[in-house]
Amino acid sequence: MTGEQVKPQLVFVHGIGRPRDPQQELVEWTRALADGARAAGFADRISALTAGWAADASFAHYADLFYDADAQGAGEPGEGDEEEAAVMLGLLAEFVDELLERPEHGDSRDLRRIRAQLAPDGQAQGAGNLARTLAAGLAALAAVPGLNAGVRALSRQKILSIVSQPGRYLARRHPDAAGRTLDRRIRDRVLACLDPARPAIVVAHSLGTVVALEALAEHPGPVPLFVTLGSPITTRGLVWPLLRPHPPATPATVDAWADFRDGDDLVVPKRRLAKAVAPNARGVQPISDRMDSATLWPHDATTYLRRAEVAAPVMRALAAPAAVR
């Protein structure tokens, strides 16, 4: 029995940040991927990508949900919820740990003092005190002299986003009127972009890699390729043990997982996904590829997408014969 060829989906999943225009972001991410495709030798397929002939592309947007939670009484990040504040404080502590593991910062007395003051373990003193410790740590980190250019590029607000949005997602709080927690509503946004009857290439960035991993664990449709960019999934003390399902494994329907990390990306822990994530039943595990860039802040999604190494597997997956239904 024959059927029609199925057009694949290309789903982008963003990371931390403020609410954005999904259509504009889709255009920018697609253009960045086209730049990477050109660099990878796929110039003849760029028109098919940008015109939507190669795949139906969508941008899974959820950033507004963090601000909806604020409007529902969440208040300042970490304030009023002890567990959420503890997660955020722990993430900031791990961020400082990552800095201290770098040769250029290993002897920094300022960073060591900040790390000692954060000390999230064994100091559950209530949400108010935890929130104040978090605020003081953010201010102190932003003021440390002698940090490399990438760290100096981080504003207090950007550091806060790095720890607060993952912290709020992983705290799994803030239910809506229907009882759906914030993390559930975020995953539902991603799943709404996925048609189980069609193959999907999913490209996720930063916090979006955590969201996509958990969403794909529930997704029954085929995923020829899962791409993670600048992922914090293996952050040791907080993100990794709070992932669901646990222990983390490659989602059952994923055929290939390509993970990319820039050596100067401060959000990415040193522990490699390829060594941490269990394979699915078909033996699929992440294949991690380290890159080095000369950019001041290499964590941006479009910076990753413009790399030939990132674009090449995506373009190959889009060009592969689609499943016949």
Domain ranges of the chain: 9-65+180-319, 75-171
pLDDT digits (tens, 9 = 90+) for 23-57: 999 999 999 999 999 999 999 999 999 999 999 99
Q: In the predicted model, is pLDDT for residue 257 greater than 90?
A: yes
- Report how far residue 29's alpha carbon sits from residue 64's, in angstroms, rounded to the nearest whole number: 19
Mean pLDDT score of the chain? 85
Two tokens, residue 316: 């190959």
- Report how far residue 216's alpha carbon sits from residue 220's, in angstroms, rounded to the nearest whole number: 8
Contacts of 233 (CB under 8 A, 6+ apart): 209, 210, 213, 239, 240, 243, 248, 273, 276, 277
Tabulate helix, strand, coil % of the chain (nearest 5).
Answer: 45, 10, 40
From residue 9, alpha-carbon distances to 119, 122, 296 in Å are: 44, 46, 32
- Report how far residue 22's alpha carbon sits from residue 323's, in angstroms, rounded to the nearest whole number: 28
In residues, how long is the chain? 325
Contacts of 199 (CB under 8 A, 6+ apart): 6, 8, 9, 221, 222, 223, 224, 322, 323
Which of 191, 189, 197 shows the shortest CA–CA distance to 7? Answer: 197
Question: Residue 272: is it exposed, middle or buried by C-beta count within 10 angstroms (0-12/13-18/19+)?
Answer: middle
User: For 75-89, 170-184, 223-237, which range has the lowest pLDDT when averaged over its residues?
Assistant: 75-89
Is the model more confident about 76 or about 137? 137
Task: Classify domain 9-65+180-319 at the CATH class level.
Answer: alpha beta
From residue 299, alpha-carbon distances to 65, 102, 190, 206 in Å are: 22, 17, 21, 8
- Report how far residue 300's alpha carbon sits from residue 310's, in angstroms, rounded to the nearest whole number: 13
Find out whether 227 and 310 touch, Cβ atoms under 8 Å.
yes
pLDDT digits (tens, 9 = 90+) for 124-179: 455 567 777 777 777 777 677 766 555 555 555 566 666 788 888 998 988 999 99
- Report how far residue 291's alpha carbon sits from residue 261's, in angstroms, rounded to the nearest whole number: 6
Identify the sign of the CA torsion 77, 81, 83, 86.
positive
